[in-house]
Structure 1
Amino acid sequence: MKSAHQRFAGRYRPPSPKRSPLITPEGAAALKKELENLWRNQRPVITQAVSEAAALGDRSENAEYIYGKKMLREIDSRILYLQRRLDLIKVVDGLPADPNKVYFGAWVTLIDDDDNERHYRIVGADELNPSAGCISIDSPLALALIGKQLDDRVELNDLDRGYDIIAINYVNATST
C-alpha cells in the first residue's frame, strides 16, 4: 500500500511566487466589477439551476446537478480569491515623482536589436494581458525596466536580447 505522500506526490504544486500588490485604478475597477458580476449575476443563476436539478431526484446520476455543483465551487473559489486579493492590493494612482523614469503604470516604447518597435505597459499581476501590451511588474522585462530612463539600454540575459528605451509615457494608451 502506498503512503499518503506517495499517493499525493503527483498532485503537489509548489506555492506560486508572491505577487506584487500593486494595481492600476482600471485594474482594481475590473476586479471589483468581476466580483460584483459573479456575486450578483452568475452565482444566483447557478444556485437556482442546482436547486432545480436537485429536485429531480437521484443526485448521483444527475449530470445537471453534478455540473452545477462543480460550477458553483469554481465561482465560490473565484469570489473568495477576488475578495482576498482586493483586501491586499494597493491602487497606484497618479504620476511618479520622476516621470522621466520607468515606474509602475508606465507605457514604455522599446526598440530591439533588429529595429522592431514594441510597446508595453507595466501593470499589476492581475492585469496581465500580453496581447494588449500589458506586462506584469513581476516579469523579468518589467523588473529590468524599472528605474531606467529614456535612451537607456536594457539587456535580458535569458533571451540574449537587448532593448533601447525610446519613449516613456504615463498617459492612458487610448489618448496617445
Structure 2
Amino acid sequence: MGEKLTESDVKKIQAEIDDRKFNKRPKLIAEVQETRAHGDLSENFEYHEAKRAKNRNDSRIRYLERMLQNATVISDKSEEGTVGMNNTVTLYIPEDDETEKYKITTSIRGNSLENKISIESPLGKAIYGKKVGDTVTVRVNDNYSYDVVIKDIDESTTDEDDQIKSY
C-alpha cells in the first residue's frame, strides 16, 4: 500500500508530471545538447550540470509516477463537526498550557513548519475523525504520549494553496 492521496493530490501530481515531461524535459534536453557541443566533456562543467538537471527532472517524474501507481485515493469529505481532511483544528495541549492550530493534510502536502500535519503522523492519526471537546491521547512512541483537547474545527479551508512536497 502506498501513499494516501485525495483526488486533488492526484491532479496536482499529474499536473507536475505533465509540466516536467512536456515543458521542462525538452528544454533540459536541448541544454544538454547545446553544452555538449562546447568541446571536451571531461572539463565541461556546463554539460555535467545540464545533464545532472535533466537526470533530476527524470528522477522526479519516475518518483511521482510510481507514487500514483501505488497510491490509495481517499475522500477529502468528512462528517460535519468531526476532524477531517483540509480542516484547520485548534488544539489545547494541557501539558504545555498552549493552544495551537494545525491543518490536516495528506503526507504529500504535510509541512510541520507551516503547521500542516499529515493524517499519517501521530497527532494526525489521533485527532482524525474526532469532535470538538474530545480529549485525545497522542502516542508518539511506546515510552511517550500526551493529551490534546480539540477546541475548534474550521471546515472552510481547502487545499488549493497547498504544494506537494519535493525531495
Specify if TM > 0.5.
Answer: yes
- Where does residue 92 of structure 1 map in the other structure? 75
CA distance 1:131–1:19, change in 2 (3 Å): farther
Amino acid of the structure 2 residue aligned with 1:58 = D
5 Å matches for 1:11-50? 19-23=2-6, 25=8, 27-50=9-32
CA distance in 1, matches of 2:117, 2:7: 12
In 2: Cα distance, 1:50 partner to 1:109 partner: 50
Cross-structure match for 2:149: 164
Structure 1 window deviating more from structure 2 (60-69 vs 136-145): it is 60-69
Aligned residue in 1 for 2:88: 107
Within the alignment, does 1:150 sit opposite 2:135 as a pair?
no
**Residue 53 of structure 1: CA displacement?**
1.2
TM-score of the aligned structures, taking structure 1 as reference length = 0.74
**Which TM-score applies when normalising by structure 2?**
0.77
How big is the shift at 1:92? 2.4
What runs of 5+ residues in structure 1 fail to find an aligned partner? 1-17
Is 1:60 the counterpart of 2:45 in the alignment? no
Q: Which residue of 2 aligns with 1:119?
A: 101
Larger displacement relative to structure 2 (116-125 or 82-91): 82-91
Structure 2 runs not aligned, ≥5 long:
160-167
For the residue of structure 2 that corresponds to 1:125, the secondary structure is coil
Q: Do the aligned residues in 2 keep the contact of 1:125 with 1:137 (CA within 8 Å)?
A: yes
Indicate the RMSD between aligned Cα atoms, in angstroms: 2.4
- Name the SS for the 1:108 alignment partner: strand
Structure 1 or 2: more helix by fraction: 1
Q: Secondary structure at the match of 2:15?
A: helix
User: Counterparts of 2:50 and 2:103 in 1: how far apart (Å)?
Assistant: 38
**Given that residues 103 and 146 in structure 1 are in contact (C-alpha distance below 8 angstroms), is that contact kept between their aligned partners in structure 2?**
yes
Post-superposition CA distance 1:80-102 (Å, at most 9, x none): 11122234441524x32x32222
Q: SS at the partner of 1:49?
A: helix
Deviations 1:89-138 (A, max 9, x none): 41524x32x32222333321101124422111221111112233211111
Give the corresponding residue for 2:57. Answer: 75
Inter-CA distance 142–19: structure 2 relative to 1 (3 Å threshold): farther
Q: Following the alignment from structure 1 to structure 2, what is the Cα–Cα distance between the partners of residues 70 and 131?
A: 29
**8 A contact 1:50–1:68 mirrored in 2:** yes
Deviates more, 1:82-91 or 1:128-137: 82-91
